[in-house]
Each structure stands twice: as structure tokens, then as C-alpha cells.
Chain A
């Protein structure tokens, strides 16, 4: 604020006193309305302190006369959303699973809801796209332990498998080795036999006749005489290309020796019936549904 009384000789106007390389800045005052608007916005800002939460106190803060809270606003928005969805979701509740899947609008709605719920609840084990992992079934393929129809999928989601729920799927792969039912060489033989069922390579000196006999005596009860499996017991088909734990000889020997008992939790009680319905439709529509 030193050289304000400085005039530019060319324009005849005062300068601000700022000078760079001999070029002086002309003092060009803003119009009055601009200045007034500027001060008005400052006054307006003070209004925010009064009506909205603003100042931190020792253990709380000033809440403002509007008592606004973003948390409460989210809760309200969510409630409104549920209300908005309520009607459509109610339609899903009264429609059968088949009706939902054959009505394009209902299918789209159920798939959208199911996809979200799947990501929140199922993806940790089955993967975000339902591709599964070792021990966790791929839900995109056409191989189902407990059945792949809409109703069967819904049943499995509701009560789970070996989940402890009274209506859960029950089935047991015995630990033939650990429990001393089969000897080590018998297990190796039957493992090779199982591999031969789906045309996988076997050991050169493997005794096919013994394998057939051991399988018929021990495995056919659950997996069936033709080894096609049994969905009542969750016994997988051993003749197809899909292996939950792996098809190499070492893994098969481990499976037969120690048994397998993967757990699918029961979701009824945790998720409401309509949500489970949308999940069933979503999983069914992934492509493997039967």
C-alpha cells in the first residue's frame, strides 16, 4: 500500500503500485454490485453456521437449528428406497420361481437384486462370478451336487448342506483310509479306476478288475453302480469332466483316504424369503440351471 498515488501517464488512470519490468498495473476497481454480492455471500455463509452443524465443541458439536445429519438423511433415503422397491419385491414374493424366470421384467428385477445379494453373501466362497474354487462348486456349470432346478437351488440356499439346520442336505464322503476301511493299495487302485471312468490316464500296472470290485463294494452305495452320482446324497457324478477337488491321482487318494465334507451354510433366517428367491433365480440364470 505504498505507491497508490501513482498515475499512469498514458491512460491517465491511477495504478495499484504493482510494477513488473516497468509495466504497471492499472487500478481497475470492481463495480459496486460485484462488491455487494461478495459481502452478501459472506453474510449468507454465516447463515450456514446457524442452521447447519458447524463448530466442534469439547465432546460434541453445534447441531444448527435445522438439526441436519447426513447419517439420518441416509437412513431416510434407504427407507424411501425400500418403500419404492416394496411393491415390486412383493410381486416377486407372490410369483413362483418359474413365473419369475419366464417374465422378462421379473427376471431382470430378480437378477439385479440377486446379483447384489450374491456379491454380498456368496462371493467369498463361490467367487464374484460364481466360478467357484477348489472345494467350492462352480455355479455356472451344469453339474450339481444337490440338484440344479430352480426349486432345488432355492432349497440348498435356504437350508444349506451339512449346515446343522434340521432340513439341511446331509451326505458324507467317508474317510476310507483314515478309518481303516480300505488299505493304501486298494485306495490307489480305486483312485485309478475312478480316473478310468472319465477316460483319464491310469497307471500302467493298475488292476481294473480289482478297481471295479472295490468300487462296487464301497462306493456304488452312494455314487451309483455306473458312478453317475446321486443328488439325494450330494454324491458327485464321477464320470463327467467336473471335479470339485481335482482329478489327479494324488488328490483322489487324499479324497478317498480322508473323506470330504464341504459346508454350505443355511441362509433362511439370515436372508428373507424374497431375497433367497432372487438368489435362486440369479444362480439358475448363470447358465447351469436345469
Chain B
């Protein structure tokens, strides 16, 4: 029982036992095809996004002998992550944190400028659902054909079409899962192994999982993912303000709705009649099955297709386009009051978001550009902190971890800047140069050493003195150092 706005009802008048349903049955959405600016943008973005996703694993990037030549590779068994010219080790995971922070801020900025740009154009759920709708339309016809077919009994032709649709869907879904696993192993080898059934079981399992999720989410769940499952619409509503542009029905211009035929007479009689002719095209093309004229709502992913649909109609009947467009309540109010429109893309929150994005970008760039491929970390022995030797001299032990991120072995020398007259010894290494131990660092790995530093007995007043461990690449001259302390008991 649906009541019109402002209609009142006494509880006694309600049907007996009407308690509302326990659940809502799924109402299938049959969006109609549409042409226009936003549809074109969406097609292009879909080609770019899906193209990158499907083809990126096949892009090669030369890194030298012994290193993988795949441009983007997440090599979990060897704990290395490759992105073109960047090679990340697990301890550099903070770059991913930086990326996530950037992604969140970019989302906020998009939202402050143009509403749910992410939802409408870039979200994978939107892109794949759009693709699946395109397949459905291609096989089973446009909205009218599908609605008509759904109301009639099943025929052989329709069954065949349905099988074909699901076959294509499954193929796309399978391809999606297949592309996913290629990011985690050498793409060329894995494709060959998959084809000859020699790939590891986990690869097939992941392809299976992603085939299933793609098929279910894009083929069946569709807009319900946005309405029931996704947190972003909830967060987005809390983040938005009155200046953010959203896909909006300009009710100031559209109301009072009236059919085209009647509107001529009524307007001729001087009545105030809006531009909306109530043709319902905006609702027919909506992929989430809502009516934008009800105002901003959770189900609206702001894909802009209703703008295209309305523009087509407006052009046809010779009225101004963009009855639906990117707009906000501020301007609706201003137009109603006879004032001019105001757009404020630059306002405190967009400035803050943009500056935060720049700051995080700058920090990450600085980190990436200034990082060395030779590194050293020093950990002082905690127990015992200092050892007195039989001749009275004092020795401190350190665990030194050396990192060689280059793709070749190299020789490094270890120098100590600390208390005067110290001597240094590396456990297990009989260095040719006794005063300055030199060791070979294997390529692309970390080496842990035990370093013993001995200082002569001394009646020092200080109990602790700073100590610096400096490692120098003998060939390249690259230097890394770390500081700690030398403790006297």
C-alpha cells in the first residue's frame, strides 16, 4: 500500500495484518540504451580501464639478469613487488600505505568536486556491470524487447539467446579471473602452464573464485552491490556539502511536470508549466532503476546516463538541454530566487584535499628518489650490553643487517666511528684487512652479521658514547650508515 505525499491515513483504515514484507524481492532493472556525452565518456573509460586490467601483465620491463622482466608483478614467494622502474621489498610496504592514503584523498576530492565520480565512471562494479548490460542488450535486445520477452512464455529462441548471454558473461568473468592471477607470476609462463594444465592448483582456484564473483556481481547482483553492500555511498553522503556538484534534476525548471501536448495550451493560458514532460526516459536508462527526479539518493551512482537521455528528449522537443545535469541545491535555490548560478570548485575543503594529496605525493616521491639500494641497520646487544675482557678492555656486540637491493654481488667495507682506538671484528670473517673488515654482499638479499667492537679500558666519565657503523661499496662508492651507542659497564 503506497500513499501519496501528504495523504493521511488512520491506522484503523489499514488492511488487517499488513505488517510489511519480511524481505523485499529483487526487482530486476532493464535499463534502456542511450547515446550522448556521458555515455561516450563511459565507453572510453571502460575501454581504458579494462584494457589496462587485461593487458598490463603482458607488458615487459627490462631489469637485468636474474630479475623478472614483467612490468607489474607481485612476487609473493620471493617477497618482491615490481612496478615498472620501482622494486619494493616487504619492509617498504609503507609505499602501499601511501597509495591507499592517496586513493582515499582522491576519492574525497572527487566527491567534493563532482559527487560520485568514482561510482559512476571508475568503480570496477560499474565497469563490469556496464559491460554485462552491453552483452545483454546485444544478445537479448533493448529494454522494450527484454521487458516484452520477460512477460511472455519461454520459447526456444529465447532460451538459446539466454544460454548465449550467460556463455559470454562466463567467458568475460573467466577472462577477468585469468588476468588477475597473471599479476602474481610471470604472465607468459603462466598462460602456457594454464593452457597445458601444469599451473599450480592455487592459480586455478583463484581463477575460479574471481570468475564466480565477476559473474555473480556483474550478472546478478549489479546495483544491489551499491545499495546493500558498498560502504562508499554511506561515507559519501556524510562527506558531501551543498557546493559539491551532483547529478541533479533541476526541479526549479522541471516542475510543474506536464505532458508536451497539454503544456502548449496551459502555457498559452499563462500558467507556470515546467520543462519536464514526464516521459520517464531518465528512469528508463538508469542502471540502478531509480528516478533521479526524487532527488539525491543512495541508489544513484551518478553515471550521468539520465543526463544523456533527458538531453535527447529536450533537443527533440526544442527545449533547452541539461534539465538534468551536474548541479547543486544552492543553485536551484538561487535560480528560484532569480539570482545567477554560482559554482565554487575552490573552497576550503577542496584546497585541503588537494594540498594533502600534493603533500603525500611529494613525500612518496622524495622517499622513492632518495632511497639507497644499500642499507644498514644496527641493533645493540641487549644482554649483555657490555663485556669486560680479561685485559680490562670493553667490548660491545651488535647485530648488523645489511641490505643489497642491487642485482649483483658487491664488496663492502665496514668502518666504525666511535670511541677512540676501537677495533672491530666480524664473527666468522677473517678479513684480509684487519682494521677495516670487508665482506661480500650477495645480490638482492639481506645479510646479517655479528659485529664486535672493542675499546681499550679507560676511566671514562661517560657511560655511553655514540657509535656510527658506516658501510662503503668498494666499487660504486655508495655509502650507508646507522648510529647506535657504545656502552661502558
Q: What is the CB-to-nearest-CB distance from B319 to chain A, in angstroms, rounded to a whole number?
A: 31
Q: Determine the chain A residues whose CB is within 8 A of the CB of B8 once the complex forms.
A: 9
The answer to whether B397 touches A287, judged by C-beta atoms less than 8 angstroms apart, is: yes
Of A14, A32, A142, the contact of B20 (CB 8 Å cutoff): A14
Chain B interface residues toward A at CB < 8 A: 1-9, 11, 14, 18-26, 221, 224, 228, 381-384, 387-392, 395, 397, 427-428, 430, 447-448, 450, 452, 457
Which of chain A's residues have a CB closer than 8 A to the CB of B11? 3, 5-7
Query: What residues of chain B lie closer than 8 Å to A9, measured between beta carbons?
Result: 3, 5-9
**Which of B3, B389, B428 has the most CB atoms of chain A within a 10 A radius of its CB?**
B428
Complex: chain A residue closest to B3, CB-CB: A12
In the complex with contacts A5-B18, A14-B20, A131-B383, A34-B228 CB distance below 8 A:
yes
Residue of A nearest to B2 (CB): A12
The DSSP consensus for interface residues of chain A is loop
User: What are the residues of chain B within 8 A of A31 when measuring CB–CB?
Assistant: 23-26, 224, 228
Residue of A27, A129, A288 near B381 (CB, 8 A) is A129
Provide the bound-state CA to CA distance between A3 and B24, in Å: 20
Q: Which residue of chain B lies nearest to A111 when distances are taken between CB atoms in the complex?
A: B450
Return B154 CB to nearest CB of chain A, in Å. 22
Instruction: Indicate which residue in A12, A101, A107, A130 contacts B5 across the interface (CB closer than 8 Å).
Output: A12
Q: Mark A95-133, 1 if CB is under 8 A from B, else 0.
A: 000000110100110010000000000000001111100
Q: Which of A43-51, A64-72, A237-245, A251-259 contacts B (4 or more CB under 8 A)?
A: A237-245
* 16 more CB-based (< 8 A) A-B contacts, given A27-B20, A33-B224, A285-B450: A4-B20, A7-B3, A7-B14, A9-B3, A9-B8, A10-B5, A14-B18, A32-B24, A32-B25, A111-B450, A129-B383, A140-B384, A141-B390, A141-B395, A287-B450, A288-B389
What are 25 A-to-B residue pairs whose CB atoms are below 8 Å? A6-B11, A7-B1, A7-B14, A10-B5, A12-B4, A12-B5, A14-B18, A14-B20, A29-B23, A29-B24, A31-B24, A31-B26, A32-B25, A32-B26, A35-B22, A35-B23, A108-B448, A111-B450, A130-B384, A131-B384, A140-B397, A141-B389, A242-B389, A285-B450, A286-B397
List A contacts of B452 (CB < 8 A). Answer: 287
Question: For the complex, would chain B's binding face be called helix, strand, loop or mixed by DSSP majority?
Answer: loop
Cα of A30 to Cα of B23 in the assembled complex, Å:
5
Q: Which A residues touch B382, using CB under 8 A?
A: 129
With beta carbons under 8 angstroms apart, the residue of A14, A30, A127 that contacts B383 is: A127
Q: Which residues of A contact B450 (CB under 8 A)?
A: 111, 285, 287
Name the residue of chain B whose CB is nearest to the CB of A112. Answer: B448
Determine the residue in chain B with the shortest Cβ distance to A285. Answer: B427
Q: Determine the residue in chain B with the shortest Cβ distance to A107.
A: B428
User: What residues of B have a CB within 8 angstroms of the CB of A288 in the complex?
Assistant: 387, 389
A5 adjacent to B387 (CB under 8 Å)? no
Residue of A nearest to B11 (CB): A5
Q: Which of B228, B384, B390 contacts A241 (CB 8 A)?
A: B390
A287 to B454, CA, bound (A): 10
Is there an interface contact between A285 and B428, defined as CB atoms closer than 8 Å?
yes
Does A278 lie at the interface of the complex (its beta carbon under 8 Å from any beta carbon of B)?
A: no
In the complex, the chain B residue whose C-beta lies closest to that of A100 is: B428
